[in-house]
Structure 1
Amino acid sequence: MGIVENIRSLKLEVKIVEARNVEVKSSLTTLFVRFYLHAGNNSKIELNTAEIRSRSDKEVVIWNQSFGLECQGNETVVEELKQQSVVFELRRRNTTSFLKKWSRSELVGRGNISWKSMIESDGMEIERFVVMDETKDRVLEDCDKPLLLKIALKVQASKPVKSKSVEDLCECRDCRRCNCLDYEAFVVACALAGI
């Protein structure tokens, strides 16, 4: 008990701006972007943009959709995060299916940006085109231009704060002998005090 831990809060804003050099073969297709964020313990968070109906006369698909996320962890978690990447996938779904909402999507292209490059950039903010590695079944028709996804990322990190220990919250300074109704409630209170 009484262990004081450094907590750091990270706020992340991900904006999917547009995809370029997208010339689809069928107007009965929707495009969307799926991206994955590392969530620790070999797990990841998956997020999807809105689906946009593609048009064969346009090479640019515009989303301008933003996502805001906030996470907390200690210095070790932040250092682990620097070893990871945000993975972006451009995906398509055939809209002719009767059950289109539940139909599987197909991968069109994949690209990534490392957390380290994001955190070490000026102001921890970047806006750039990511070159997507395309699948064998190309979306582009006779196009030598690479498939590009324009994204904007912004990270805000708070300074480490000391979380309070159980003893700091309990007047008797020894929760094992006090009349606390629920010791676990104090542990939860400690966790919330650090937030």
Structure 2
Amino acid sequence: MRIEGADPGTVRPGGRTARVRASVLQAAGDALAEHGFAGLDLADIARRAEVGKTTVYRRWGTVTILVADLLTDMAEQSLPRTETGSLLGDLKANARLVQRTLADPRQGALFKAVIAAATCEAKTAEALHRFYDIRVKEWAPCVQQAIDRGEVPEGTDVHEVIRAVSAPLYYRLLTSSGGLDEAAADQAAEAAVAAARAGAYLRGDEGHA
């Protein structure tokens, strides 16, 4: 059965079809990390996954759609948010999750390749935006809980606080040859909390009252 409006490769199946999808996405991630977006080839991915080329071409059709499906799967498989009882504790958990992902040789290379591809491939850009939208929405409730506890001002943009945690870590990934460690993650979380408490992320005119 095909869901109305769904792109090929985006319907979550079960049974053997699910195993084929998992194998192909694993192979696509490996190839993307090794060769970048420009080096992706559906036939090579089928060979790596030990799946028939016809199956891969029929199901995904293009490498862009396959990468979009890979990002969807990564967002859905990512660890759920942590609740520590404090905004700083929650955001440190978030930052360390991002740090571990980006510091991993395979995952870091994969994200660099996807970000590069998103600058010139509209479908990849859409998939990347959807990936981060899912992750930001997953973690945003911890900021709302902090508002409810009185840790940060009413009117704080919960999504912007979460984005502020990840942004410096991605910046380091793309601009620095140095390692990305837990100290950098903790610093990003601490800076986001300090800014949120100071009212830096108040929505609209609320920041100018």
Q: Same fold (TM over 0.5)?
A: no
TM-score with structure 1 length normalisation? Answer: 0.27
TM-score with structure 2 length normalisation? Answer: 0.25
Larger Rg: 1
Report the structure, 1 or 2, having the larger helix content. 2
